Amino acid sequence: MKTLWAPWRIEYILGPKPDECIFCIPEDTSEDEERLILYRGEQSFVIMNKFPYNNGHLMVTPYRHVNTLTELTPEQSHEVMDLVKECTRILQTLFTPDGLNIGLNIGDAAGAGIEEHLHFHLVPRWSGDHSFMAVFGETMVVPEHIQSTYNRLKPYFEELK
pLDDT tens sequence across 28-83: 999 999 999 999 999 999 999 988 888 899 999 999 999 999 999 999 999 999 99
Q: Please name the amino acid found at residue 46.
A: V
> How much is the pTM?
0.79
106: DSSP letter = -
Residue type, 23: F
Of 78, 119, 121, 130, which residue is the catalytic one?
Answer: 119
Kindly list the domain boundaries of the chain, sorted by start residue.
31-156
pLDDT at residue 140 in the model: 61
Give me the chain's average pLDDT, please: 86
Closest CA to 119 of 148, 76, 55, 74: 76
Q: Where are the beta strands (DSSP E) in 105-148?
A: 120-125
Tens of pLDDT, residues 97-155: 999 999 999 888 887 788 899 999 999 998 876 654 454 445 566 667 889 889 999 99
Class of domain 31-156: alpha beta
Q: For 138-154, write each residue's pLDDT tens digit.
A: 556 666 788 988 999 99
**Residue 119 appears among annotated catalytic residues:** yes
